[in-house]
A and B are shown apart, each in its own frame.
Chain A
Amino acid sequence: MATTDLRTGSLERHGLSDEQLRDMFRNMLLQRQLDNRGFQLNRQGKVPFALGSEGHEALQAGAAMAFHRGHDILAPYYRDLGLCLGIGLSPFEILLSIFARADDHNGGRQFPNHYSSKAAGLMSFSSILAAHLPHAVGAAYAIKYRGETGRAVLATCGDGTTSEGEWHESMNFAAVHKLPFVMLVENNEWAISTPLDKQMAQPEIWKRAAGYGMPGRRFNGFDPIQTYVAVKEAMDRARAGEGPTLVEGTCYRYLAHSTDDNDLTYRTREAVQERRKDDPVPAFEALLLEHGIVTADGVAAMRQDVLRETNEATDAAEALPYPEPADLYKHVYEGAWEPWQS
């Protein structure tokens, strides 16, 4: 396992270049800025809903680094802003989703954070947890069926989703058929208001892998390098035709579930503050500074650049129109549609 230690500052690169390490850090900064932007726009009354991934930044920046653009397929869930940025979505595309503009990939139909982009290999998904996992497995079957090598499906979910029947069904089918499939669980300890001990008696999700006859491992999801190593190893196995893997990254959900949730009804501010001590964004920054991979000036410039990019994306997306009312009737089926045939 990786030997990175964010507390002591030791760094094992696992082949990652300075540029890749900086890219991961920039992704983390961008996630936090865009998350914050969604909440700001909601509090300003400009958008009805926002949802953040704060606490998942390192995990997603690291996992995205193990994704091969143009080859792999991502089947994410709704708390995957950083992964989606990391596989190629732009802040502008994120803002189009937040503002529900006509040019959004979903045409303004879905909630924010429900990204979809066929060009990026990002599978459309709904808000119904685990429903996307059979889709991911079906896509993995298609890859194997066509004999395509060097491709795999990276599917993600939170700890909450692992209670769903379709989580089990998907894991089982992927294992039976030795599919190019990686199940990445982002364990942030909360299923909206329900803590882990009310979700499962045995809290180490990765251990379930043995029950499916596939390898499993757990890593510290606050460490982007450990995440990268674990996800890369699993994806390499999958791409090589060696079958699926369950990887579990531990992290924490710092924000409420969404702008419609008040997390103080089920956990204390102090408990969240305690976990903030492990916040992966300043920790990774300190590590990169200590090893001379970034400078203090470089970080300041990066923050400025991320803010500028977010502001430009916000202005550009906000200026664009909503879908037209007539768009409601499009894409029900191929072509024009009437349930009554005449």
Chain B
Amino acid sequence: MAVVSSTNSTVMNNVEAVRATLYEAMKNDERTVILGEDVGARGNVFLITKDFIGEFGERRVIDTPIAEASIVGIAVGMAMEGLRPIAEIQFADFIYPSFNQIVGEAAKIRYRSNGEYTCPLVIRTPYGGGVRGALSHSVSIEALFYHVPGLKIVAPAFPDDVKGLLNAAIDDPDPVLFLEHKKTYRLIKGEVPDGHYTIPLGKANIRKAGTQLTVVSYGLYLHWALEAAERLAQEGLSVEVLDLRSIRPMDKTAILNSVEKTRKLLIVHEDNKFGGIGAEISAMVAEEALFSLDAPIRRLCGPDVPSMGYALPLEEEFMSSPAEMADAMRAMVKF
């Protein structure tokens, strides 16, 4: 439940933050339409767009056929012709049929038309595991898309960032993939400033300052990394936790500034390790700040298997934990 506090902010969970931001966007700009599976009468499977259809009508809140390629493709056409569509892929696992529309089309419209056409489009999708989502309701997709010039990718962890970054994504003149970790939807609550504001895409945020190790993460694992860092703080160890927030563009300055201060880097993400976000960060730090490092870079990531499983042990084995993260942090601080 949203609770209005005395400091011109409201406590919300991540679902409420997405919902409130979408609501304002619909209120403020007649060009904005929402399209996706079950976003209308059902109000989205997580109730993010509950009651929107009643207020904004079915021409603006469009229940699409189950056809992900054209959900994105139709949104691309709308964007090319002056609307500001917000397309929803019901679960990130279902985004694969729309891969070409995102990578081959949306990301290249501006480029291939030499700037004549643009594609101001937001694609929102819930991703990630830890919810017994089985093989096809659990994946992380960011690494499949972060290779693609022409796309922007955002993955906020906190409700205040959800609002500011979603507003920035909606305002952005280029296509943005907006990733919402579904386990954080109702788990994570926080103060969200009232009124309209944006947070620039491509800016990381130090969620906990520290001196002995830099931990870079995003999404659900960012929260677990913070929990682990608190445990270490009780042991007298000082860990800095950097919330990437944006995956493409990525905040090089924030990462390097932190690493040059702590001289150690641990990257933590739920997506599997090989070719993941951590690989690019590791390479960048190795290129730019190798001689600032007092320990090898380490990545704590998902295992290299196609997916977590439905059976609890197959999910738990895939997912890391605050305890495992604390162990990795402790080992690095003491290296």
Contacts and interface: CB of A to CB of B under 8 A. Distances in A.
B268 interface: no
B4 interface: no
B252 A341 contact: yes
Interface stretch (B108-116, B124-132, B325-333): B108-116
Contacts of B74: 134-135, 137-138, 141, 170, 173
A20 interface: no
B80 interface: yes
A105 B101 contact: no
Contacts of A332: 110-111, 149-150
Greatest chain A CB density within 10 A among B100, B112, B174, B202 is at B112
Interface of A: 73, 75, 104-107, 109-110, 114, 116-118, 123-124, 126, 128, 131, 133-143, 145-146, 165-166, 169-170, 172-173, 176, 330-334, 338-342
- Please classify how large the interface on chain B is, using the bins under 10, 10 to 19, 20 to 34, 35 or more: 35 or more
Contacts of A128: 100, 104-105
B48 interface: no
Contacts of A342: 252-253
A117 B113 CA distance: 8
Given A172-B67, A332-B149, A342-B253, A142 B82 contact: yes
Interface string B95-122: 0010011001100111111111110000
Contacts of A334: 110, 118, 173-174
A169 B70 contact: yes
A72 to B, nearest CB: 12
19 contacts: A106-B112, A118-B116, A124-B109, A124-B112, A134-B76, A134-B101, A137-B74, A138-B73, A139-B77, A139-B80, A141-B74, A169-B67, A169-B70, A172-B65, A172-B67, A330-B115, A334-B174, A340-B252, A341-B249
Nearest to B69: A166
Interface string B232-251: 00000000000000101111
Contacts of A131: 73, 100-101, 104-105
A142 B33 CA distance: 10
B249 A138 contact: no
Contacts of A109: 111-112, 114
Contacts of A134: 69-70, 72-74, 76-77, 101
Contacts of A166: 69-70, 73
Interface in B54-85: 59, 64-65, 67, 69-70, 72-83, 85
B323 to A, nearest CB: 33
A75 B80 CA distance: 12
Contacts of A116: 112-113, 116-117
A333 B111 CA distance: 8
B92 to A, nearest CB: 20
A128 B103 CA distance: 12
Greatest chain A CB density within 10 A among B82, B117, B118 is at B117
B286 interface: no
A126 B85 CA distance: 21
Contact of A331 (B76, B111, B246, B251): B111
B114 A138 contact: no
Contacts of A339: 149, 248-250
Contact of B105 (A135, A140, A169): A135
B79 A138 contact: yes
B249 A340 contact: yes
Nearest to B111: A331
B261 interface: no
Greatest chain B CB density within 10 A among A126, A136, A138, A169 is at A138
Greatest chain B CB density within 10 A among A75, A109, A114 is at A109
A339 B146 CA distance: 10
B42 interface: no
B203 interface: yes
B174 A138 contact: no
A174 to B, nearest CB: 9
B314 interface: no
B284 interface: yes
Nearest to A177: B62
Contacts of B70: 134, 137, 166, 169-170, 173
Given A124-B109, A334-B118, A334-B174, A136 B251 contact: no
Contact of B114 (A73, A141, A331): A331
Contacts of A176: 65
Contacts of B67: 165, 169, 172-173
Contacts of B75: 138
Given A134-B69, A341-B251, A333 B174 contact: yes
A166 B33 CA distance: 21
A169 B173 contact: no
A299 B115 CA distance: 40
A244 to B, nearest CB: 14
A341 B202 CA distance: 6
A267 to B, nearest CB: 30
Given A124-B117, A166-B69, A340-B249, A138 B80 contact: yes
Interface string B19-59: 00000000000000100000000000000000000000001
A126 B108 contact: yes
